[in-house]
A and B are shown apart, each in its own frame.
Chain A
Amino acid sequence: MSATDLAPVAPLPDRGGPQQPLVIARDLRRHFPIRSGFFGRRTGTVHAVDGVSFEVVKGETLGIVGESGCGKSTTARLLVGLIALDEGDIIFDGDRLGDQLSLRELRRGVQMVFQDSYASLNPRLTIEDSIAFGPKVHGMGEGQARRRARELLASVGLEPARFAGRYPHELSGGQRQRVNIARALAMAPRLVILDEAVSALDKSVEAQVLNLLADLKEERDLTYVFISHDLNVVRYISDRVMVMYLGEVVEIGPAEAVYARKAHPYTAALFAAMPSMDPDARTEEPPLAGDPPNPIDPPTGCRFHTRCRFAEAVCAAVKPALASVPGEARGGEARAEAHVAACHMLVAGSGHSAAGGAA
């Protein structure tokens, strides 16, 4: 396809060059008030995303994992501009949201695909109209938007002649999720956030959609943020992985390094909780007891200390900062290669007995 043919919704140009991260998220914070009673008095605050920083490198897939309610979707919604930040900065290809980049421009560059393929499609629109809708809102003519919709249907593996006129209820779950992907791509985004986008699909169909995502990424120079609770899928698809716990980042690094080291005790527990695939080596002890704590009143210090088997006094008193995971630091490594985790055991002189003396 030629870019001129598809104007005015053409891909945004690469402005900052390959070294510039596509996204820099700096100290993102988003709290939600809890209201209750007849007058809706504010009775508490959910610390959904609480000081989260990370980068998304151009062309990579960043996987995000963590328990339910740890803030994965809220982080994603902040990145797409679906909800407003309380604090922090989002820098998209060098331009800061707010002063250098409008919300409208951000939404062009970042698209999101959700888990629930049914709820995110309008049941009264044919799938062709659903896909053409976004470009038309952004000023594309009727005929051109239709052409683009059909071309996208073909590229997600749905033959336009057979599928264009169908309504969402006439498709299977896997087919609907393909439509959602096509709809996200219709805006020619540079970053696609996939929030549990394959989680509701059957295993046999999930593999088809993962193959499709890989092809589209290649063809269209896309960057992905991939959120899932399935650690096998995240490992397969991600270049780097970020682990969240109760609104914070506890570990981030290259996928293989995180999977091999599991430097943060929560990461280790999460991985150990994966069902075994070996009938002769079934899990005998649950790695963690109890449910995750309530994000309304998160624990002090390290938020994991209430469930961590290595917790000591310092853990409840002092919040650990992200520190480089020892044994892997190489001189002059690129930031994208860094492997960091937020645990007192990794910092000499932190006061944790497993950490060693002063730095």
Chain B
Amino acid sequence: MTKPLVDIRDLSVTFSGERTVHAVNGLDLSLPPGEVLAILGESGSGKSVTLKTLLRLLPPRRTAISGMIAVDGVDVLSLSGRRLADYRGGTVSMVFQEPMLALDPVYSIGDQIAEAVMRHEGLGRRAAMERALDMLTRVRIPSPERRLKVFPHEMSGGMRQRAMIALALACRPKLLLADEPTTALDATVQIQILLLLRELQREFGMGVIFVTHDIGVAVEVADRIAVMYAGNVVETGTVAEVIRDARHPYTKGLLAANLHGAVKGARLEAIRGAPPALERPPEACSFAPRCDFADERCRTAPPPMIVPGPGRRVACVLADRLEAAE
């Protein structure tokens, strides 16, 4: 078995301050090199917090982190100073939903990419500018020579997204973290960006963790899917396994609610209720208050992690029974 590129064990992230939020609760996740994992889950389930923890972007004073994160063999939680700076933007980089978070409004696109390459790879200005031009060409920005001198606000939404991807990939990271980078885009532009990311991922052979709440987007980009609920992964498997043979009641509800092929006039199978507030750490199955199958076991202890097949994990007391029933 190859060593995983990302190995997260028993990660918990708790915010203190005005109110306490147990955002991530004992999460285990691993990613082999060169694989694309989509994290799927609803608002507040801890997707962004997981990515930010991987990049060490959370405010240290109000955040308590426990557990272990290794990326490319490096213990991420112990990094600081120069080594942390090399890690960010060198080993790992990130693209966001809002490109203005990643792009600096006062520098041209070319200068920003060149600057990053000079800092992380020690290239001279000229070689760095060449890399910038190459990156703008790869992300298919029209007239790339001219676009090197353009400022972020002078570009359209789709173009800015491409520029941000060019910046993120300029230093050839081993791991790309993508937090809903296409959610704000039009459908016809979104699919262009998804296909571009897929192509660059293959070309550079990097690992990608792609956060989304859109199952269709996950199907387009990912090899595997991890479904998150209330700060934990409740189900993982290949895209086909999760889409065609979901085992966790929450995943099933999510698939039914996607309305793909829903019959007009028929009532939708809605999951009732709303996700928990996460003020206290979960002591039982977090989905129990909304689950049609919940019984006493579900309300008294966290569900066991069932392994219905190789590479497949489901956190539900029923997962093995469902399999046995087949």
Contacts and interface: CB of A to CB of B under 8 A. Distances in A.
B191 A283 contact: yes
Interface stretch (A92-100, A114-122, A205-213, A317-325): A205-213
A36 interface: no
Contacts of B142: 290
B201 to A, nearest CB: 13
A283 B264 contact: no
Contact of A67 (B187, B195, B274): B187
A277 B219 contact: yes
A140 B250 CA distance: 44
B219 A276 contact: yes
A108 to B, nearest CB: 29
Interface in A213-258: 214, 229-233, 235-237, 255
B156 A291 contact: yes
B186 A275 contact: no
Interface centre among B43, B195, B269, B270 (most CB of A within 10 A): B270
A207 B253 CA distance: 10
Contact of A275 (B156, B158, B194, B238): B194
B146 interface: no
B139 to A, nearest CB: 13
A204 B271 CA distance: 5
B187 A273 contact: yes
A274 B274 contact: no
Given A283-B220, A286-B191, A286-B195, A68 B215 contact: no
Contacts, number: 127
B189 A291 contact: yes
Contacts of A206: 257
Interface in B142-162: 142, 156-159
Q: Is the interface of A mostly helix, strand, loop or mixed?
A: loop
Interface residues of A, number: 46
B274 A172 contact: yes
Contacts of B191: 273-275, 283, 286-287
B73 to A, nearest CB: 31
Interface string B33-53: 000000000110000000000
A291 B159 contact: yes
Interface string B268-292: 1111101100000000000000000
Contacts of B172: none
Given A203-B257, A276-B220, A291-B156, A67 B188 contact: yes
Nearest to B254: A203
B189 A204 contact: no
A277 to B, nearest CB: 5
Contacts of A208: 270-272
B214 A211 contact: no
Interface in A246-301: 255, 269-270, 273-280, 282-292
Interface in B214-267: 214-217, 219-220, 238-240, 243, 250, 253-254, 256-260, 262, 264, 267
Given A172-B274, A202-B42, A203-B42, A236 B259 contact: yes
A51 interface: no
Given A203-B258, A229-B187, A287-B191, A277 B215 contact: yes
A173 interface: yes
B192 interface: yes
A193 B260 CA distance: 24
B213 interface: yes
B188 A286 contact: yes
A226 B207 CA distance: 40
B190 interface: yes
Given A204-B271, A211-B267, 8 more contacts: A173-B43, A205-B271, A206-B257, A232-B262, A274-B191, A282-B219, A284-B195, A289-B192
19 contacts: A68-B157, A202-B275, A204-B271, A207-B259, A207-B268, A231-B187, A232-B262, A236-B264, A236-B268, A270-B188, A276-B220, A277-B216, A277-B219, A278-B219, A279-B243, A280-B240, A283-B194, A285-B195, A292-B188
A-B pairs, top 6 by smallest CB distance, nearest first, are A275-B216, A207-B270, A202-B42, A204-B271, A207-B268, A232-B259
